Amino acid sequence: MLKDITIGQYFPGETIIHKLDPRVKIILTFVFIISLFFINKFYPYIFIFIFVLVTTKLSKVPFKYIFKGIKPLMFIIIITFLINMFMTKGEILWEIGPLDVTKEGLTQAVFMALRLIFLIMGTTLLTLTTSPISLTDGIEKLLSPLKKIGVPAHELAMMMTIALRFIPTLLEETDKIMKAQMARGADFESGNILKRAKSLVPLLVPLFVNAFRRADELAMAMEARCYRGGEHRTRLNEIKLKRRDFVALIIMTIFFGGIISTKYF
């Protein structure tokens, strides 16, 4: 299951989606997320699904990368679905013991499940088609106006990107440690919740030790290269908005504007 987590991974490519300005992709991802919470009918999700499929096809990212990212979070999606289905009051459809399934609850549960699924797909597409360096530059450029009020834009962008970058690395180390502990007789699957939680101690201790060691090595490497943050820092490749970026912004603004407008019309 750990290998199914795709957020933070980058899939190299030379497609039009990869070449889009990272600022444009970040803005469109936020607009995409916002539009999901404006949908209160079922048919707009059809257009959202088509948008995800077309974007994935244009980026030439294998569909399995997009869909397998949902698998590790399926438990959260199911729990969210059940909570909304049983806890929302309204017209009763079925009675399951002391719990009632209402029409409004079932509708709300489906909406929340679809929102979570498309939310995962959208954010996964962003990280799969944007390199960590481009993502850092894009976030820093978007936050740069906040420097006037003392917000450390470069440092925030660097921290977020390093966090995303090391998600796959930590997952890989977790998998290695888990296999090593299982070879020594550790059992992570049997027993009740409390026993499983206790069995994670031999996994978490070396994982945290390795994480702190990696952080220390990264800090030393950055200091050895005279890294001093964003002040007077130059870049090999300056990001600039091109014609395709403006075209993508216009088309997607119209598309997401139409999706949001379905709530009111």
Measured in whole angstroms, the distance separating CA 69 from the mean position of its chain's CA atoms is 9
Which residues does 11 contact at the CB level (< 8 Å), separation at least 6?
59, 61, 62, 65, 128, 129
Fill in the amino acid letter for 136. Answer: T
What pLDDT score was predicted for residue 183? 81
pLDDT tens per residue across all 265 residues of the chain: 455 566 667 888 889 999 999 999 999 999 999 999 898 888 899 999 999 999 999 999 888 878 777 877 788 888 988 888 888 887 777 777 777 788 888 888 888 999 999 998 888 888 889 887 788 788 888 888 887 887 787 778 778 777 777 777 777 788 788 888 778 777 767 766 677 767 777 778 888 888 888 888 888 888 887 777 666 666 667 788 889 999 999 999 999 989 988 888 7
Give the C-alpha separation, 202 to 208, whole Å.
11
Region of 239 (left: φ > 0; alpha: ψ -120 to 50; beta: rest) is beta
User: Residue for token digits 């978007």?
Assistant: 142
β-strand partners of 100: 95
Going by C-alpha positions, the residue among 3, 10, 44, 234 that lies closest to residue 137 is 234
Strands (DSSP E) found in 164-241 = none
Q: CA of 50: how far to CAs of 24, 55, 57, 108, in Å?
A: 20, 8, 10, 22
Going by C-alpha positions, the residue among 62, 51, 47 that lies closest to residue 15 is 62
Given this model, what pLDDT does residue 127 score? Answer: 85
- With residues binned 3-state (H G I as helix, E B as strand, rest as coil), the percentages for the chain, rounded to 5, are 70, 5, 25
- Coil, strand or helix at 117: helix
Amino acid 11: pLDDT: 84
How much is the pTM? 0.77
Buried b (16+ CB within 10 A) or exposed e, 105-117: bbbbbebbbbbbb
pLDDT of amino acid 27: 92
Q: What CA–CA distance (Å, rounded) separates 191 from 30?
A: 41
Where do the domains of the chain lie? 1-130+238-265, 155-233
CB proximity list for 127: less than 8 A, separation 6 or greater: 6, 7, 8, 9, 10, 135, 164
